Amino acid sequence: MAKAAKSSKSKKTVRNLETVIIEKEDGIAWCIFNRPEKRNAMSPQLHLDMNQALDELAIDPEVNVVIITGAGKAFSAGQDIRLYFRGTTEDPAKRHKAKHASHAWRWTKLASFPKPTIAMVNGYCFGGAFTQVSACDFAIAADDAVFGLSEINWGILPGGIVSWNVVEMMTMRDAMYYACTGETFTGKQASAMRFITKSVPKAKLRAETVKLAKLLQQKSPAALRYTKEGVRAVRYMSVDQAADYLNAKSDALKYVDKERSREKGMKQFLDDKTYRPGLGHFDRSKDL
């Protein structure tokens, strides 16, 4: 295991797990699937490594945004059919451990991660990889990235919670078509279907992803976390339930926001006249 480099605000630090690389720079952590020779297909070991990586990054004081991507030309080709499926057929304990780890990091941990998460889809994204893209708060893909639900071609269905994810993120018509035909679609098409936040030319992918990460860093961490949680939670609530939940969430935020962002924002807007939506930026660093 590589020894982490000495950290500073601008210096990159690297930590190598068996199948995952973690890079940290300027408050941004890059969590990189590192099986490029297999198009970053997800093996049981990768699931274990990603669980460990997310546990570490969730409490890392140097990290406030996490970007998930893949090494080489692929984001992830989905589950490694040989290692994840065939390799655990005769070992129920190993299958259970792999299945639990797979679901834990790709949905349970990512969907409730305390910091903003961005999926940077740099290339092939197939099958099970749709889950972590859906779980991330934001997803930016290269225009020419290739997405596909190829399970139908293996005589199986998009299992785990992949089918649930695509119906959540796409229209029913799009989800049905791509799940049943196995046909692929591009980053541009994924953006048009709203499966991802947006797509950009491949040459600009990293820069645009970093730009979003830096924008998120300007926000109050506490307000950002509570906003993320609120948006996810109220989606299937009634109006009355959502009102109660958001009022309670708003009250709780006042007690956990150590930066006193609400007071700063109101002062900058009402008194200092330095912040105007669309005209000026809220300054987190400015003291009351």
| Rounded to 5°, angle at Cα 189 from 187 and 190 | 60
Average pLDDT, stretch 262-277? 73
Q: How confident is the model at residue 7 (pLDDT cuts 50, 70, 90)?
A: very low
Q: What is the pTM of this model?
A: 0.90
Q: Are both 41 and 79 inside the same structural domain?
A: yes
Query: Looking at the 3D structure of the chain, how many domains does it have?
Result: 2
- 32 in a structural domain: yes
Q: How confident is the model at residue 86 (pLDDT cuts 50, 70, 90)?
A: low
Q: Are both 208 and 244 inside the same structural domain?
A: no
**Domain of 23: which CATH number?**
3.90.226.10
Q: Give residue-wise pLDDT tens across range 217-233.
A: 999 999 999 999 999 99
**What span, in angstroms and rounded, lies between the C-alpha atoms of 43 and 58?**
23
Q: Are both 165 and 69 inside the same structural domain?
A: yes
* DSSP type of residue 25: E
Q: Are both 157 and 265 inside the same structural domain?
A: no
Q: Report helix angle 92-103 to 44-58, nearest 10.
A: 40
Q: Which helix (H) or strand (E) is 250 found in, with range?
A: helix 239-256
Q: How confident is the model at residue 85 (pLDDT cuts 50, 70, 90)?
A: low
Q: Are both 101 and 225 inside the same structural domain?
A: no
Q: Give residue-wise pLDDT tens across range 92-118.
A: 777 778 788 889 999 999 999 999 999
- 120 in a structural domain: yes
At residue 133, does pLDDT exceed 70? Answer: yes
Q: Could you write out the DSSP letters of every residue in 152-186?
A: GGGT---TTTHHHHHHHHS-HHHHHHHHHH--EEE
- 6 in a structural domain: no
User: How would you classify residue 243: left for phi > 0, otherwise alpha for psi between -120 and 50, otherwise beta?
Assistant: alpha
What per-residue confidence (pLDDT) applies to 274?
A: 75
Provide the strand spans (E) within 26-164: 28-33, 65-70, 74-76, 117-121, 124-126, 138-142, 146-148
- Give the structural domain span for 146: 13-217
Q: Are both 124 and 175 inside the same structural domain?
A: yes
Backbone angles phi, psi at 83, to 5 degrees: -85, -40
Q: Are both 65 and 192 inside the same structural domain?
A: yes
